[in-house]
């Protein structure tokens, strides 16, 4: 993180690389030798946003509680020169809340003439890219238009946070720490939102495994630090999650919301029933002896294949499907819990699942900060700006009648 224009002590810190092993951390830069002062106009504000599914990996990897792991990772990033470390839960709040409203709208509009269901989630970039590039319009029409948590976080950092700091978006370098490699592709493929004036929401994505490798190779003295929030000098002292076994919990939260909005039913416990395998499960709501809501979770491409084939045949009875490309869900992303030979570290994964399950659940509706942002940042819950910032469209290749035929 060393800057040749800086004489400040914190800008002279380094991480160990192969070609720097014998370089002293206190060695002066060319600027120091000439007595030059730091030119802050040449700096960018470094912001890192960490996905909730990464924290159980760090906790299991370094034998820490999830709260201690959060503080340790934050402290390490700050020791590298990162200015702010955020948690992406607040972005997932927006993604879930917008998905809830969209599902209710689609359910009410669905008919034989206008087939708006099933609604398929859009938070997994591997799945979305596959739908756009391979399956085409017959499937992308069913994708939820709510942006993924990563995309929402990009707008929060480069738009809302930038304004709070009186910075232009290009003055912020935003890094995402995520459990899977597909998030890198999502950052590259994402367009330039109008509010960001030609700046990407995420400039770089590092997997949890890559961060852990840097931590293991580094020789910095690390002090724990609390994760920042987007609101002034507040700190995130308590780690919480959404109600999903290994994901951001779109299914559970949308199911509860739909049950209340459409059928005035309060659902506290969401009960999953495994069908074809543990990665294909369903959740149903019955009223007066009739199933009125039927949701499914389809994780891994084998289950996605089966879903697509049934959709093609018109034999897919679900209103909503939480679709994730990774078998086992986001916790099992290939960017973490992998053995040196590239296979899943099953023992570590089981430990991560236990850690994640013990994290307290927070429902997105309960966040006062989200409601504040809807008003202060987006000019209201259902405003045109909220629609522009929080929703997206999909690029689909028009395909023929046999567009759902897939070779595996």
Tokens 């852990």: give the residue: 212
Helix and strand tally (H, E) in the chain? 15, 11
Tokens 């109600």: give the residue: 243
What pLDDT shows up at residue 233?
A: 64
Task: Decide if 299 contacts 180 (C-beta within 8 A).
Answer: no
What pLDDT shows up at residue 260?
A: 97
What pLDDT shows up at residue 398?
A: 55
Task: Decide if 208 contacts 57 (C-beta within 8 A).
Answer: yes
Hey, what domains does the chain have and what are their CATH numbers? 43-390 (3.40.950.10)
What pLDDT shows up at residue 19?
A: 38
Cβ within 8 Å of residue 74, ≥6 positions away? 50, 85, 224, 225, 226, 227
Longest dimension (CA), the chain: 82
What pLDDT shows up at residue 397?
A: 63
SS3 content of the chain, % helix, strand, coil (to 5): 40, 15, 45
What pLDDT shows up at residue 276?
A: 83
Task: Decide if 352 contacts 60 (C-beta within 8 A).
Answer: yes
**92: closest CA among 320, 297, 393, 363?**
363
**pLDDT per residue rounded down to tens, the chain (408 residues):** 333 333 333 343 333 333 333 333 333 444 334 444 444 456 789 999 999 999 999 999 999 999 999 999 999 999 999 999 999 999 999 999 999 999 999 999 988 778 889 999 999 999 999 999 999 888 999 999 999 999 999 999 999 999 999 999 999 999 999 999 999 999 987 766 766 767 889 999 999 999 999 998 877 777 888 898 887 766 776 889 999 878 888 999 999 999 999 999 999 999 999 998 999 999 999 999 999 999 999 999 999 999 999 988 888 899 999 999 999 999 999 999 888 888 889 999 999 999 999 999 999 999 899 999 999 999 999 999 999 999 999 886 654 434 443 332
Tokens 């470390």: give the residue: 85
SS3 (DSSP) at 282? strand
What pLDDT shows up at residue 37?
A: 45
Task: Classify residue 348 as exposed, middle or buried by CB count within 10 Å of its CB (0-12, 13-18, 19+).
Answer: middle
Cβ within 8 Å of residue 158, ≥6 positions away? 169, 172, 174, 195, 196, 199, 200, 201
How does DSSP assign 310-352, residue by residue? HHHHT----SEEEEESSTT-GGG-TTSSB-TTSSB-HHHHHHH
What pLDDT shows up at residue 150?
A: 96
Task: Identify the DSSP state of 174.
Answer: E
């Amino acid at each position: 993180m060393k800057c040749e224009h800086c004489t400040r002590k914190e800008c002279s810190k380094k991480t160990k690389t192969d070609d720097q092993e014998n370089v002293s951390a206190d060695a002066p830069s060319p600027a120091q030798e000439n007595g030059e002062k730091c030119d802050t106009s040449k700096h960018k504000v470094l912001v890192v946003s960490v996905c909730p599914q990464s924290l159980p990996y760090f906790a299991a990897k370094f034998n820490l509680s999830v709260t201690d792991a959060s503080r340790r990772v934050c402290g390490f990033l700050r020791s590298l020169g990162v200015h702010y470390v955020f948690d992406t839960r607040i972005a997932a709040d927006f993604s879930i809340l917008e998905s809830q409203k969209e599902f209710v709208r689609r359910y009410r509009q669905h008919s034989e003439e206008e087939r708006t269901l099933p609604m398929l989630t859009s938070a997994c970039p591997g799945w979305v890219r596959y739908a756009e590039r391979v399956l085409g319009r017959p499937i992308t029409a069913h994708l939820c238009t709510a942006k993924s948590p990563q995309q929402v976080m990009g707008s929060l950092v480069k738009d809302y946070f930038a304004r709070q700091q009186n910075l232009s978006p290009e003055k912020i370098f935003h890094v995402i720490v995520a459990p899977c490699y597909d998030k890198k592709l999502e950052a590259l493929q994402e367009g330039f939102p109008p509010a960001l004036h030609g700046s990407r929401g995420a400039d770089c994505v590092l997997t949890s495994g890559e961060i852990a490798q840097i931590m293991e190779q580094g020789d910095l003295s690390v002090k724990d630090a609390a994760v920042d929030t987007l609101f002034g000098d507040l700190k995130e002292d308590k780690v919480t999650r959404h109600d999903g076994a290994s994901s951001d919990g779109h299914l559970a939260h949308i199911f509860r919301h739909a049950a209340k909005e459409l059928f005035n039913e309060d659902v506290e416990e969401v009960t999953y029933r495994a069908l074809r395998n543990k990665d294909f499960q369903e959740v149903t709501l019955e009223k007066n002896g009739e199933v009125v809501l039927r949701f499914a979770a389809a994780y891994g491409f084998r289950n996605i294949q089966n879903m697509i084939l049934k959709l093609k045949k018109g034999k897919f009875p679900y209103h909503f499907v939480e679709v994730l490309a990774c078998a086992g869900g986001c916790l099992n992303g290939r960017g973490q819990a992998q053995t040196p030979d590239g296979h899943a570290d099953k023992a570590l994964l089981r430990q991560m699942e236990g850690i994640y399950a013990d994290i307290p659940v927070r429902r997105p509706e309960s966040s006062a900060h989200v409601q504040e942002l809807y008003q202060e940042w987006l000019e209201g819950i259902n405003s045109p700006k909220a629609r522009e910032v929080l929703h997206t469209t999909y690029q689909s290749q028009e395909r023929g009648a046999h567009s759902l035929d897939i070779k595996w």
